[in-house]
Amino acid sequence: MDPDFLNVLTQPSALDQFLHETVIAKGEKKKFIKPTSSTNPRLEELKLLLIDWINRTLQEEHIVVKSLEEDLYDGLVLHHLLEKLGSLKLDVDKIALTEKKQRQKLSVIMEAVAKCLQLEERQLKWSVESILAKDLLSTLHLLVAMAKHFTPSLALPPNVQVETITIENTSRGLKTASAVESITDNKENTEAQSKDDAFDELFRRAPDKLDAVKKVLLQFVNQHVGKLGLNVKDMESQLHNVNLALDLLAEGGLLNFSVNSEDVVNRDVKTTMKILYCLYSKYKTKEA
């Protein structure tokens, strides 16, 4: 066998080397970005954009960030960033030299971030310990959440995903599990969620406008089914062959959210209106 080929086979992989160098205490479990994902172009694009966002935001403070892992762990940059974006004054020293002081400082900052973003502890994808440990995955989740809240106009690259590995040090040795994790939103899912939110708001806060919306959608439906000699007066009870219709809509790429046909059969007005709105959005644009 070719000696060069044998040499390749016997060389440890990047993952093997990573596992060898990673220290996990007994009973501890940690999640990391796989080494193979560290050179992901979309991940690099996101990192550069976040660094530029931080530097532009803190330009007056003469703070320059070059590395998300190395420049944010001690809390100094996060402190300035939160005070600048959130117009807050945090009761902690700007500079914390010891690890104990850094941990205390990060605790105050993380608490303020959660309060500003209105997030419960179970929703957080970062922690004081993970930021202090220079964990890139946690740092990215934290910065993306802050950017989306404080600078919603920032054009984050969509669909940034990384391969992760979770390592747990059990009594039987290291246990590993791989997964794919999203850092930024899927653009299509975000648009669909926005429409969901719009209808939720309509039903919850403006029920008096429901009839007007129904009227517009029914006019649109009748404009098209009228060619078949049909007339729809009641959208809750006059939609037949639901499963067939939904299958055709899904195959045609006209539905951007999952639909349970039973909801339509059971006369769920919100679901019916959302389906009709998908059609309305698609074909009204063409007509215009």
Angle between helix 76-86 and 41-57 (nearest 10): 70
**What is residue 263's predicted lDDT score, i.e. its pLDDT?**
61
Q: What is the pLDDT of residues 85-98, one digit of tens each?
A: 888 788 777 777 78
19: pLDDT strictly greater than 90: no
Look at residues 192, 210, 183, 181 and name the one whose alpha carbon lies nearest to residue 275: 192
265: pLDDT strictly greater than 70: no
Look at residues 10, 12, 21, 43 and name the one whose alpha carbon lies nearest to residue 167: 21
SS3 label, residue 87: coil
Contact between 117 and 145 (Cβ < 8 Å): yes
Residues 6+ apart with CB under 8 A from 153: none
Overall CATH class of domain 41-157: mainly alpha
Least confident range of 1-5, 26-30, 172-176, 248-252: 1-5
Beta bridge partners of 169: 174
Look at residues 85, 65, 93, 91 and name the one whose alpha carbon lies nearest to residue 77: 65
- CA-to-CA distance for 272 and 268, rounded, in angstroms? 6
- CA-to-CA distance for 106 and 161, rounded, in angstroms? 26
What integer is the mean pLDDT of 54-82? 91
CATH number of the domain located at residue range(s) 189-287 in this protein: 1.10.418.10
**What is residue 284's predicted lDDT score, i.e. its pLDDT?**
56
- For the chain, residues classed under CATH 1.10.418.10 are 41-157, 189-287
Q: What is the pLDDT of residues 126-180, one digit of tens each?
A: 999 999 999 999 999 999 999 998 888 888 888 888 888 888 888 887 788 888 8
pTM of the predicted model over 0.85? no
